[in-house]
Amino acid sequence: MSHTNSPHAPVLLRANGLQKSFGTHQVLKSIDVAVRKGEVLALIGPSGSGKTTVLRCLNGLEVPDGGSVSFEGGPAVAFDSATTQKQAQVLRTRSAMVFQNYNLFPHKTVLENIIEGPVQVQKRKKSEAIEEAKELLARVGLAEKHDQYPHQLSGGQQQRVGIVRALALKPSLLLFDEPTSALDPELVGDVLKVIKELADEGWTMVLVTHELAFAREVADEVVFMDQGVVVERGHPEVVLRDPQNERTRQFVHRLLNPF
């Protein structure tokens, strides 16, 4: 299922040869990813395969040891051992991350959490940021929760606030790091529904997920990673229904048939 309606949409983000080690453990061995405007790219694979590290490198939260990341219309950020966190941070002006464990400030209200980035980082008018935040909250069914604190919300509500906080930054690219893995099963649907609506509206996204049925429904391309390399990539119908690689086949079969 494609949201772009055109395979000729420009490439919004391109990462080439990403490498990253933590100590002696090489987590990424040379990863290439590209996502076109309006597309959804799903990263799947076992725990420890490097998916979240890829996401964090795209957002500049993690500084790769090698490779480059470029956004359409901006300079490529090339990485080596001398690249600083500050240089990597330029990537954060283009993308926004939705974290697995919400990462909301516990001492701030829902509204304060959402306007923090637009007001403090982007220097937008507070009144304007508040108005936009309230509109976004209404959109995800949380209009009446704006003056509550995170601990007063369910996990699913906190994650929807996390999505609104990312949207409030008006990024070109949304990054989701297993947005449903910390949720009770009955709360997962509400969050996936919001993500699917964003996909249908044409938001460009990179999504790390274990929800394979959901990936099949929303993604334009699926990338299967294992041990820091891309093992297989392609259309979700191929990668998730008829994988060509034996390792992909085992993984998909195990997730879709847990018993």
Mean pLDDT of 109-136: 96
Sign, CA dihedral 187-181-199-173, equals positive
DSSP states along 167-194: HHT--SEEEEESTTTTS-HHHHHHHHHH
First to last CA, the chain: 29
The three-state DSSP-derived secondary structure of 149-167 is CHHHCCHHHHHHHHHHHHH
Mean pLDDT of 63-76: 91
State how far the Cα of 99 lies from the Cα of 146, in Å rounded to an integer: 20
State how far the Cα of 14 lies from the Cα of 128, in Å rounded to an integer: 32
Q: What whole-number percentage of the chain has pLDDT above 90?
A: 85
**Per-residue pLDDT tens for 148-167?**
999 999 999 999 999 999 99
Sequence-ordered list of residues with C-beta below 8 angstroms from that of 219, at least 6 positions apart, any chain: 40, 41, 42, 207, 236
State how far the Cα of 11 lies from the Cα of 8, in Å rounded to an integer: 9
- Predicted confidence at residue 86, as pLDDT, reads 84
State how far the Cα of 33 lies from the Cα of 18, in Å rounded to an integer: 9
Say whether pLDDT at 54 is over 70: yes
- Predicted confidence at residue 74, as pLDDT, reads 82
**Per-residue pLDDT tens for 182-193?**
899 899 999 999
State how far the Cα of 23 lies from the Cα of 161, in Å rounded to an integer: 35
Which of the four pLDDT bands, split at 50, 70 and 90, describes residue 6? low
Determine, yes or no, domain membership for 106: yes
Mean pLDDT of 218-236: 96
Which of the four pLDDT bands, split at 50, 70 and 90, describes residue 257? confident
Say whether pLDDT at 48 is over 80: yes
Q: How many CB atoms lie within 10 A of CB 189?
A: 13
Mean pLDDT of 69-97: 88
State how far the Cα of 15 lies from the Cα of 1, in Å rounded to an integer: 23
Determine, yes or no, domain membership for 90: no
**Per-residue pLDDT tens for 165-217?**
999 999 999 999 999 998 998 999 999 999 999 999 999 999 999 999 999 99
Which of the four pLDDT bands, split at 50, 70 and 90, describes residue 219? very high
Determine, yes or no, domain membership for 147: yes
The tally of domains found in the chain comes to 1
Determine, yes or no, domain membership for 152: yes
Q: How many CB atoms lie within 10 A of CB 243?
A: 20
Determine, yes or no, domain membership for 116: yes
Say whether pLDDT at 2 is over 60: no
Determine, yes or no, domain membership for 127: yes
Q: What whole-number percentage of the chain has pLDDT above 70?
A: 97
Determine, yes or no, domain membership for 135: yes
Look up the domain containing 128 and give its range. 100-170
DSSP states along 17-59: EEEEEETTEEEEEEEEEEEETT-EEEEE-STTSSHHHHHHHHT
Percent helix, strand and coil across the chain, each rounded to 5? 40, 25, 35
Q: Which helix (H) or strand (E) holds 235?
A: none
Which of the four pLDDT bands, split at 50, 70 and 90, describes residue 3? low
Q: Average per-residue pLDDT in the chain?
A: 93
Which of the four pLDDT bands, split at 50, 70 and 90, describes residue 135? very high
Chain-centroid distance of CA 132 in Å reads: 22
Determine, yes or no, domain membership for 254: no
